[in-house]
Amino acid sequence: MRPFGAAFVRYLEDTSRKCDGEQTAETQIRVQRRMNREDHIKNFIDKARTAITNGEYESALNEISSVLLHDPSHTEALSLATQLGELLEDKRLNTIGPAGLQFHEAKSDVAPLSSTMYDLHLAKAQQLFAQQMYDTAMAEITQALLANPFAEEAQELEQRLQQKVSTRRTVSPLQTSASVNAVLLVAKRYFERKRFAEALEEVDTGLAIEGNHPELLWLRSAILEQIEVQGTLNREQRLRNYVNRIRERFVKTEFNKALEEIQAALDEFPADRELIALREEIAAAYNSWQELQLFECHTTTVNEHIRNARQLLRFDRVAEAASEIALGLLLAPSNEELKKLEKEMWDTQSRLEHARMREEDERQSVQKSVTVQMHVIAAEEFAKLGQFNRALDELAQAYLINPTSAEARQMESNVRQAQQRTAVSPLKLVYRNNRAARA
């Protein structure tokens, strides 16, 4: 029995070595195929980058499409597609030129931003829909509709995707990340163009996928703040227009029309103290004017109004000076000194308005500086995580705001140095086990 037992043991050892050899060969084939696939994808990515650098956007689009055919959720390819979309849009805006930009923006909801980008995003969305990657497909169809809002095919696919997403609650981490990143990019583009309602809708879509995403939460807060600021500015502008028209009527002694304007303003701003005070002031001035019609113009009274108006203008109290001048002109419509004071009053008001505009320009400059600093900080954080492309994207946004920013240039130098150090680091070969290494 022992010889038979020894032979059986040798048989088992030979069989084990043979199986291990077959598994090792199969593993090597799979590894080789994966490496070949990665080499192909890297080759496409390198060609796409070169084409973008040379301004050959159509060639770059073809290379990116080739990558997405192999891997629809390839992060770097999606990032390049977004970058290419920005470049195509910048090219479109440069072609339009400053003279036609305002008209083109007014028509931007009618004409597609880029038919090429629309076709790319639509094709990708259809492919992802067929693969049941609904959340990522939703992000792609959103970008397609951003390029062509009235495309019926895209709208129909969006409705189908919404039905699929609403009936499914589980998403893989990879799909979630790609979907949220795509939605975030679209939201940022809307936000930068001051289309806050669309940006808020995109952010809410992203938060429905990942409710605690920090950048989406921050962007949502910034959008709501801008909406509130915009609403406040619009309200203040309407109120200022009312007050200017009322005071203009008042100075022209058109009291009935001035009171009608005040009533219309109070219908919209019933609790505004300035309007209420102005109504009382004009009503009192109107009563005084009616009474003064019964009397001749008294030089003493006119001189008092002139003196008061001069004193008020000295302290830039234009509104009150206008009242004094108006009352003086009621008594002496042809008084030359009052007419000179009236001209001085308008000059003072114009000077104050210019000063206010300068202050607004300075405030916007500070806001731009803060925005650039935020992009620089974001670039630094991405660089720490080794996400150099995203870091450079943030710096590109900073350059759009301030092309001469020293902080952005210094951070770009740091990011590119870190990227080069990472690129030249030696590769380590990792083996599955010692037996695979000997094989």
Residues in the chain: 439
- The single-letter code of the amino acid at 159 is Q
Return the structure tokens found at 380. Answer: 């630094």
Residue-wise pLDDT for 404-433, tens only, equals 888 889 998 999 998 888 876 554 444 445
Residue 190 makes CB contacts below 8 A (sequence gap 6+) with: 146, 196, 198, 199, 202
What is 43-63 written as a DSSP string? HHHHHHHHHHHTT-HHHHHHH
Residue-wise pLDDT for 118-139, tens only, equals 888 888 888 888 877 776 777 7
| Confidence (pLDDT) at 104 | 39
* Percentage of the chain modeled with pLDDT above 90: 3
Q: Which helix (H) or strand (E) holds 245?
A: helix 214-251
Confidence of residue 438 (pLDDT cuts 50, 70, 90): very low
CB-based burial label for 329 (10 Å; 0-12, 13-18, 19+): buried
| Confidence (pLDDT) at 374 | 92
377, pLDDT greater than 90: yes
Q: Taking a C-beta distance cutoff of 8 angstroms, is the pair 412, 380 a contact?
A: no
Tell me the C-alpha to C-alpha distance, in Å, between residue 342 and each of 47, 252, 283: 70, 11, 21
Residue-wise pLDDT for 43-53, tens only, equals 888 888 898 88
* Percentage of the chain modeled with pLDDT above 70: 74
| Mean predicted confidence (pLDDT) in 32-54 | 80
Confidence of residue 184 (pLDDT cuts 50, 70, 90): confident
| Mean predicted confidence (pLDDT) in 311-317 | 84
| Mean predicted confidence (pLDDT) in 321-333 | 84
271, pLDDT greater than 50: yes
| Confidence (pLDDT) at 190 | 84
Give the position of tokens 């030696």: 426
345, pLDDT greater than 50: yes
> Where is pLDDT greater, at 158 or 16?
158
Return the structure tokens found at 364. Answer: 């916007």
Residue-wise pLDDT for 77-96, tens only, equals 777 777 776 676 566 555 54
CA distance 67 to 131: 16
Return the structure tokens found at 291. Answer: 């009474």
| Confidence (pLDDT) at 108 | 40
Confidence of residue 396 (pLDDT cuts 50, 70, 90): very high
Give the position of tokens 């042809």: 334
Burial readout 200-233 (b: 16 or more C-beta within 10 A, e: otherwise): bbbbebbbebbeebeebeebbebbeeeeeeeeee
Q: What is the pTM of this model?
A: 0.26
Return the structure tokens found at 195. Answer: 């289309």
Report helix, strand or coil for 206.
helix
| Confidence (pLDDT) at 163 | 78
CA distance 279 to 281: 5
Confidence of residue 17 (pLDDT cuts 50, 70, 90): low
Residue among 347, 315, 345 at smallest CA distance from 328: 345
